[in-house]
């Protein structure tokens, strides 16, 4: 039994998810609230199960997955983020005709997939984890199946996701064909033997392209705005947080563990994707009138900054990526929880930026929280969103990439414009009709906590959090 101890979080989530799925099937809509809370409880238990030595026991199942601090750190960020996405759905799906209760179950399965993704040390387990997460994601995107936009989002996500999986698999098969192994260590050893052959390089490029799809890095970002806009808002909250972390962490592990000796080969790809994501994410957001589309571009932009940390290719760089993604999840989840509150008198969601007009006068607390998230996403000090940006630039400069840091930071200034625009709409324009008040104390508490966390109070977290990210990053090298 001891050899299953490192897998305890995944076992809890998988078995719990299966049980809840049966419960959902038999209780129907009546059991929604209970199932949601049970799913949140399962995620909490799974997070607690990360504590202790088994979570960093080393490679298991002949090196298919690895239980290390890097994976545990990722899970400790993703499980709570998934729980937030479940809490965000309270009172959302009950109004439609859909089955409300399977939502939480799908999130649980996606969480298992993500957790395999961040622990994967073999190309096979990488793909299995990715697909488990993605399949749950396709269903979630089209969860309101009678809503045309949701169905379209699901279809689009599925088609493009399948294409990405194909590209990824092609890359994997090339790597397997030229190295004869699927384990990360074996691939690294093959790359370590002198200059990589053309076949290996092609494998590397296809593998990274497939991963870039999953983290919506430019030029593989096209699905993101449409899917984010079309999917129900709680689902978008989920897409923008936990799977993003899983994807970025997976990319980090692949680059460092499997492609480590070929750093010079992947670094130029990562640098291009980083800068392209930052600038496209910043520029394309200008004309958006839909808040969810805008936040989609914001997530593309943020992935670019995380990739700057990765391109340093040092433990410091990986640590900065982990820090960045943690704070990114808090800011983004907070911002989406605010978007969930944008509803008209009938409880129907409103998504236009114009409807935020004058919010500071009708709902000052809501506006202040949203403004904090916007300034923080823009990376303006003294808000805490500044610190992870500083860390990734610091990693880039320490690795000798000063020009990259300068280009990235100019992108940050361009991006600041649209975050400012939201603040301007809320604080400087005349009030629009007020939103209906939503009674959601738990969501309110989460927004409050997130806003406090990214306010200057967050600086108190630097010491413990960077100690954790440093140790987690260290376990990869």
Partner 1 sequence: MTNLPWLTILIAVPLIAAAVALFLSASGARWLALIATIIDFDIGIYLWSNYNPDGAQWQFVERLPIGGGISWALGIDGIALVLIMLTLFLMPICIGASWRAIQKRVPEYMAVFLLMEALMLGVFAAQDLFLFYVFFEGGLIPMYLIIGIWGGVERIKASYKFFLYTFLGSVLMLIAMIYMVAVSGTTSIPALMAYNFPPDVQRWLWVAFFASFAVKLPMWPLHTWLPDAHVQAPTAGSVILAGILLKLGGYGFIRFSLPMFPQGSVDFIPFVFVLSGVAVVYTSLVALVQRDMKKLIAYSSVAHMAFVTFGLFAMNRQGIEGAMIVMLSHGLVSGALFLVVGVIYDRLHTREIAVYGGLSNNMPGYALLFMVFTMAAVGLPGTSGFVGEFLSLMGTYHASTWAAIAGTTGIILGACYMLLLYWRICFGTARTPEAATMVDLSAREWWLLAPIALAVLWMGIYPESFIRPIRNDVGRILTRVESVAPAGDSHLTLPGAKLRAFDAQDHGAHH
Shortest distance (Å) from residue 379 CB to partner 1: 9
Task: Show Cβ contacts of residue 286 under 8 Å, excluding neighbours closer than 6 positions.
Answer: 417, 418
Q: Candidates 88-96, 104-112, 182-190, 459-467 — which segment interacts with partner 1 by CB under 8 A? A: 459-467
Q: What is the token pair recorded at 214? A: 């999953």
- Using rule CB under 8 A, residue 460 touches partner 1: yes
Taking the C-alpha atoms of residue 336 and residue 432, their distance in angstroms, rounded to an integer, is 20
Shortest distance (Å) from residue 294 CB to partner 1: 17
What are the start-end ranges of the H helices in 145-262? 148-179, 184-192, 198-214, 223-230, 233-240, 242-253
| Binding residues for partner 1 restricted to 364-423, rule: CB under 8 A | 364, 375, 380-382, 386-387, 390-391, 393-394, 397-398, 402, 405-406, 409-410, 412-413, 416-417, 420, 423
Cis amide prior to 205 (ω within 30 degrees):
no
Between residues 177 and 382, which has the closer beta carbon with respect to partner 1? 382
Q: What is the per-residue DSSP string for 5-44? A: GGGHHHHHHHHHHHHHHHHHHHHGGGGHHHHHHHHHHHHH
- Using rule CB under 8 A, residue 475 touches partner 1: no
Shortest distance (Å) from residue 405 CB to partner 1: 5
- Using rule CB under 8 A, residue 471 touches partner 1: no
Between residues 33 and 407, which has the closer beta carbon with respect to partner 1? 407
Cis amide prior to 382 (ω within 30 degrees):
yes
Please report, to the nearest 10 degrees, the dihedral formed by the alpha carbons of residues 88, 89, 90, 96 taken in order: 150
- Using rule CB under 8 A, residue 459 touches partner 1: yes
Neighbours of 352 (CB within 10 A): 12
- Using rule CB under 8 A, residue 18 touches partner 1: no
> Which residue do the tokens 């005709």 mark?
97
- Using rule CB under 8 A, residue 360 touches partner 1: yes
Residues 269 and 215 sit within 8 Å (Cβ to Cβ)? no
* Binding residue (CB under 8 A) for partner 1 from 173, 197, 361, 362: 361
- What mask, x for binding partner 1 by CB under 8 A, covers residues 99 to 118? --------------------
Residue 297 burial by Cβ neighbours in a 10 Å radius (0-12, 13-18, 19+): buried
Shortest distance (Å) from residue 456 CB to partner 1: 8
Taking the C-alpha atoms of residue 103 and residue 82, their distance in angstroms, rounded to an integer, is 11
| Binding residues for partner 1 restricted to 427-446, rule: CB under 8 A | 427-428
Shortest distance (Å) from residue 332 CB to partner 1: 20
Shortest distance (Å) from residue 362 CB to partner 1: 12
Between residues 218 and 396, which has the closer beta carbon with respect to partner 1? 396
- Using rule CB under 8 A, residue 76 touches partner 1: no
H or E, element range at 411: helix 402-428
* Residues within the interface to partner 1 (CB under 8 A): 360-361, 364, 375, 380-382, 386-387, 390-391, 393-394, 397-398, 402, 405-406, 409-410, 412-413, 416-417, 420, 423-424, 427-428, 456, 459-460, 462-464, 466-467
């Amino acid at each position: 039994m001891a050899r299953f101890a490192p897998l305890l979080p995944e076992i809890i989530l998988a078995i719990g998810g299966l049980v809840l799925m049966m419960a959902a099937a038999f209780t129907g809509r009546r059991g929604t609230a209970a199932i949601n809370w049970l799913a949140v409880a399962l995620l909490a238990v799974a997070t607690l199960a990360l504590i202790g030595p088994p979570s960093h026991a080393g490679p298991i199942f002949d090196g298919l997955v690895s239980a290390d601090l890097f994976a545990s750190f990722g899970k400790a960020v993703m499980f709570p983020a998934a729980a937030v996405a479940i809490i965000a759905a309270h009172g959302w799906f009950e109004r439609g005709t859909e089955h409300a209760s399977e939502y939480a179950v799908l999130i649980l399965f996606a969480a298992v997939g993500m957790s395999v993704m961040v622990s994967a040390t073999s190309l096979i387990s990488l793909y299995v984890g990715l697909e488990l997460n993605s399949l749950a994601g396709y269903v979630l995107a089209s969860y309101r199946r009678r809503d045309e936009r949701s169905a379209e989002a699901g279809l689009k996500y599925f088609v493009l996701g399948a294409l990405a999986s194909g590209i990824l698999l092609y890359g994997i098969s090339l790597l397997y064909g030229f190295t004869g192994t699927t384990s990360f260590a074996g691939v690294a050893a093959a790359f370590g033997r002198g200059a990589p052959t053309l076949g290996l390089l092609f494998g590397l490029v296809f593998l990274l392209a497939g991963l870039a799809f999953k983290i919506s890095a430019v030029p593989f970002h096209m699905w993101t705005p449409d899917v984010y806009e079309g999917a129900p808002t709680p689902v978008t909250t989920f897409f923008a947080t936990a799977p993003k972390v899983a994807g970025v962490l997976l990319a980090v592990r692949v680059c460092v563990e499997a492609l480590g000796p070929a750093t010079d080969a992947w670094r130029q790809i990562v640098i291009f994707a980083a800068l392209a994501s930052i600038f496209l994410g910043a520029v394309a957001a200008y004309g958006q009138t839909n808040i969810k589309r805008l936040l989609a571009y914001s997530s593309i932009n943020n992935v670019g900054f995380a990739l700057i940390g990765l391109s340093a290719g040092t433990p410091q760089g990986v640590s900065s990526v982990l820090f960045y993604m943690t704070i990114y999840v808090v800011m983004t989840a907070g911002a989406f929880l605010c978007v969930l509150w944008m509803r008209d008198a009938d409880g129907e969601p409103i998504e236009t930026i114009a409807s935020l007009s004058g919010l500071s006068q009708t709902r000052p607390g809501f506006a202040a929280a949203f403004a904090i998230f916007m300034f923080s996403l823009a990376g303006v000090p003294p808000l805490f969103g500044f610190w992870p940006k500083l860390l990734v630039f610091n990693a880039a400069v320490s690795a000798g990439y000063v020009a990259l840091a300068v280009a990235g930071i100019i992108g940050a200034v361009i991006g600041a414009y649209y975050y400012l625009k939201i603040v301007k709409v809320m604080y400087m324009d005349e009030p629009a009709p007020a939103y209906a008040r939503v009674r959601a104390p738990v969501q309110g508490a989460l927004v409050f906590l997130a806003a406090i966390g990214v306010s200057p109070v967050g600086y108190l977290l630097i010491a413990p959090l960077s100690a954790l990210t440093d140790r987690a990053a260290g376990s990869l090298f």
